[in-house]
Amino acid sequence: MTSISPQSPTPGTGDRSVGELLSAVTSDVQQLFRQEVELAKAEVRVEATKAGKAAGMYGGAGFAGYMVALFASLAAMFGLANVMDTGWAALIITALWAVIGAVLFMKGRSRMREVSPKPEQTVETLKEDAQWARHPTR
């Protein structure tokens, strides 16, 4: 029967002490955490860029739409005023723009729902890292 003395290294670790091994593991975990944070930042940046572009398009479309709506509405209202009372013509044009506004709002809302505020790839890799930490031999 052979016995292992407390001073002899554990098989497979070489001459490294437990403190050195813990230090190496801690260093690796810190590096992994920093890499995950950088990945999350990159993903958030990409999503923020998409949201910023969408918001810019909303703004530009809103201003252009306002100008078109103003002049087209006036022209349509005065055109209808030739065949009916001006008040009724204005009310018809207002109702038309209410419908158009509702449609544009719905389209904008559906596009905004496509923007993901959660960094999907980072969440997946963190799950994988947690699973690996629980079962490093798999």
The answer to whether residue 12 is domain-embedded is: no
CA 134 to the chain's CA centroid: 29
Q: What is the mean pLDDT of residues 12-35?
A: 81
By residue count, the chain amounts to 138
Residue 103, pLDDT score? 95
Question: Would you say residue 1 has pLDDT above 50?
Answer: no
Give percent above pLDDT 70 in the chain.
88
Per the structure, the complete domain to which residue 42 belongs is given by 18-120
The answer to whether residue 96 is domain-embedded is: yes
| pTM, entire model | 0.39
Please write down the HEC assignment for all residues of 41-59: HHHHHHHHHHHHHHHHHHH
Q: Is 12 exposed, middle or buried (0-12, 13-18, 19+ CB in 10 A)?
A: exposed
The Cα–Cα gap between 111 and 89 comes to: 34
Q: What is the mean pLDDT of residues 69-95?
A: 91
Residue 2, pLDDT score? 47
* Number of domains comprising the chain: 1
Give tens-digit pLDDT for 51-60: 899 899 999 9
Q: Do the Cβ atoms of 121 and 39 come closer than 8 Å?
A: yes
